[in-house]
Structure 1
Amino acid sequence: MSTDVKAVFRLYRSFRREIRLLPTAYLREFMKMKLSDDFRSIVEAKKDWVQTKKIKRAESELRKLQLANSGNVKKFDYVLDLAYGRKGKLKWELLEPLLSDPSLPKPERIIPTVERSRPPVYPAELTALLTSTASRTTPPVNQKALQKPPKIPERANPNSEEAKLLGPFSKRREVNIRWRYYTEQVQRVLPPLQVEVEEQGAEGEPERRSNKVTLNRIGVRSVGMQDEGILEELQTLARRPSHKNAPEENGQQNAPFAGSELPSRFLRRRFAHLLGRIPVLRYSCPKERDEATDTKKRTGRYQVSWAPGAVHPNLRYSPERLAEADANDIAWFEHAMLEEKMRADDAKRRRAAKLEAMNAAATTQSEDNK
């Protein structure tokens, strides 16, 4: 290793000092593991140019971490996205189990003699994520686009007029278009941290569970950080503490963000926005059926939503976030509706009077001409 060893370890110690300032234990542990992996790759790099490139990248990461600890919103969100799999290596580790399903049959080859010409498979979990707003960085896609990507022309259908006129569409191009579309859409998916199961309780009300025992009993695959309590911890961090349990009254400072110098309100807002980037994948069990009258096999379905306390532009005017109208609100609403009706009636009368005056003027002019 030709690089100055002291400079590398100086950089390492600077990282450790910044990591100690992070607000939660999970963030500190994650960044410690990432730091260990990054600097191990620096030390084990055999080529000088590779080592120099890795050191520059580490210096850039250190500057981002310093800005995050100083209260920079963009850089703090960057650290959160890394730690909770919104980007980086962890994102693909969370997504990997959702990209395949051993229980699904292999699709037929597009090119009969080429094994790799099979089109991509969309498991039920991945389909739900691709077609939902809550799990996408871009607008969702529809089911038809998954079956036939938009860039595949009508010529791909051998019975179409274009195919009869111009000849058959290249099978290799069709394979490439399908896989390119699949890759692009998967890259825009935000992976869930766990799967929830919603089933009918004893009293007929829906009950939600996310433990592995329930998932194994129903036959649903666990994903991500199942049973780790990470999502529940995020909801607690994003929730505003009650007045009786406020940190200032209990003699604690900035709890539950002990060790961080950033304001607790800033941290709560950042974790709430993070929840808006973490979809909740929920499996709804089929309702009970009458075996004598219903012989069809029913299966559950996957749905995607946001966790309670999440902040997202699409949730701004959702019913769950709007306060219930009281008597004063209803009175103001009725008053506004009455004023709107009076203005509309007044405008209607003015238009009628203006039209009547114009007709009278036209009649007078025609009589004068005679």
Structure 2
Amino acid sequence: MPVQVSREAVFSLYRSFLRQTARLPHHYLRQFWMLRGQDEVKRLLASDDDVLRRTKLKRVRKDVARLEMANTGDRECFAYVLDMAYGRKGPLKHAIMKPLLSDPSQPKPPRIIPAAHKSHPPVYSPELAALSMSGSSRRQGKPLKPEQLVNPPTMPARADPSSSDYQLFGPLSKRREVNIKWRFFTENWQKLHPPIELTIDQGPALSTKAKSIERKPPRAIGIPGQGLLEDVITLAGASRARRPPIPRRQRQSLPADEDAERRQGMPMAPTSADVAPSRFIRRRYAELLGKIPILTYTRTGKYVVALDDAAWHQEREYPLAEVDDTERAWLPQGFGEIERAKKADKATVKG
């Protein structure tokens, strides 16, 4: 006989949920997960189906366990907490991406199948096109080329009347063409990280010719007016543009003027009010920032995608400390010649 879900067990679990939520390090995280817990518990209590209630109870228990592990320093669970709160996955991601999947300012393209009402090809809005053609916003895969927005790379050659396959096998089915375009469109946007807000470029004044082609104000996307992007940048930017510190013995061996010059060239450390309380949290927010593309609307009416300087991303190059004479003395003799020989061999193989 299945176990009944009592209201007392639900309320006890909800209190545990609130206790773990209160321990989260940022106000927005606490607010998001508190509202999420309220919605889940309300739906759980409103359900009359015992099987569905047990499923929802299991989901709440899993969230409580993840929050508890995130508060104890588990990297994967803390990343999950951040991803859900900032729309990198889950319902919030779909809510942010939904307005970008259409363009109200443009009319619908003509139908591929005249008699079918749902045979319109997908429309890439300017925001979605900019995200699709940028590597900074992709969760996986390569950025698209402009021509791939119109003609997907998965489209068979038979769709082109000038191809040899068209002459040999005949035209491609129109229904199949519609399905291929929509399938590629859906798979593409699901591989993208949505922006959490739109940044408007407040650059210098434009010339008269540039003003004549300036577009109307862009639509709001993401979670505007909350300052979430600025908060994430502040929490992740503790070590932005800072060179890695050198060891104490090496620093003591430097001449006084050289050490003073090096210290003067390093940026000042941020105050405690500007950074998260621990290095663990700063690094998790830096990883989160690598999943948040900054979508900027320029004065010329175009959209540009970039990442913040403090973001951790697979395509980002990070500063490394220079090797001096003291460190070079600890390297194996002939280390430089060995490395140069390896690079020469790799270049020969590639050539």
Q: Calculate percent identity across the aligned residue pairs.
A: 43
- TM-score between the two structures when normalised by the length of structure 2: 0.76
Deviation at 1:152, TM superposition (A): 1.3
Q: Is the 8 A contact 2:238 2:269 kept in 1?
A: no
Q: Is the 8 A contact 2:238 2:270 kept in 1?
A: no
Q: C-alpha separation between the residues in 2 aligned to 1:157 and 1:110?
A: 14
Residue 291 of structure 2 corresponds to residue 277 of structure 1: yes
2:172 alignment counterpart: 169
Q: C-alpha separation between the residues in 2 aligned to 1:60 and 1:2?
A: 19
- The code of the aligned residue for 1:284 comes to T
- The code of the aligned residue for 1:220 comes to P
- The code of the aligned residue for 1:282 comes to T
Note the 1:219-238 alignment, pairs <5 A: 219-238=217-236
2:252 alignment counterpart: none
Alpha-carbon displacement from aligned partner over 1:168-219 (angstroms, at most 9, x marks no partner): 2111111111111111111111110111222532599xxxxxxxxxxx9952
Residue 181 of structure 2 corresponds to residue 178 of structure 1: yes
Structure 2: tracts of 5 or more residues without a match? 208-213, 240-267, 329-335, 342-351
- The code of the aligned residue for 1:234 comes to V
166 and 37 in structure 1: CA distance in 2 versus 1, 3 angstrom threshold: same
77 and 171 in structure 1: CA distance in 2 versus 1, 3 angstrom threshold: same
Residue 237 of structure 2 corresponds to residue 239 of structure 1: yes
Alpha-carbon displacement from aligned partner over 1:103-136 (angstroms, at most 9, x marks no partner): 1121111101111001100011100101111111
Note the 1:213-224 alignment, pairs <5 A: 218-224=216-222
- The code of the aligned residue for 1:169 comes to L
1:211 alignment counterpart: none
Root-mean-square deviation (CA, aligned residues, Å) is: 2.8
Q: Is the 8 A contact 2:287 2:311 kept in 1?
A: yes
1:50 alignment counterpart: 52
Deviation at 1:5, TM superposition (A): 1.5
Deviation at 1:19, TM superposition (A): 0.5
Aligned residues: 293
Deviation at 1:10, TM superposition (A): 1.2
Match of 1:267 among 255, 271, 281: 281
Q: C-alpha separation between the residues in 2 aligned to 1:115 and 1:227?
A: 38
Deviates more, 1:71-80 or 1:150-159: 150-159
- The code of the aligned residue for 1:190 comes to H
Deviation at 1:256, TM superposition (A): 6.0
1:301 alignment counterpart: 302
Note the 1:83-102 alignment, pairs <5 A: 83-102=85-104
List structure 1 runs of 4+ shifted beyond 6 angstroms: none
6 and 199 in structure 1: CA distance in 2 versus 1, 3 angstrom threshold: closer
Q: C-alpha separation between the residues in 1 aligned to 2:148 and 2:36?
A: 38
- The code of the aligned residue for 1:150 comes to P
Secondary structure of the residue aligned to 1:93 is: helix
- TM-score between the two structures when normalised by the length of structure 1: 0.73
Alpha-carbon displacement from aligned partner over 1:63-113 (angstroms, at most 9, x marks no partner): 111111110111100000000000011111111121111111211111011
227 and 246 in structure 1: CA distance in 2 versus 1, 3 angstrom threshold: closer
Q: C-alpha separation between the residues in 1 aligned to 2:131 and 2:150?
A: 15
Secondary structure of the residue aligned to 2:118 is: helix
Note the 1:7-46 alignment, pairs <5 A: 7-46=9-48
Alpha-carbon displacement from aligned partner over 1:293-321 (angstroms, at most 9, x marks no partner): xxxxxxx321100023211121124xxx5
Q: C-alpha separation between the residues in 1 aligned to 2:147 and 2:310?
A: 33
Deviation at 1:158, TM superposition (A): 3.3
16 and 180 in structure 1: CA distance in 2 versus 1, 3 angstrom threshold: same
1:192 alignment counterpart: 195
Q: C-alpha separation between the residues in 2 aligned to 1:219 and 1:203?
A: 15
1:75 alignment counterpart: 77
Q: Is the 8 A contact 2:111 2:121 kept in 1?
A: yes
2:106 alignment counterpart: 104
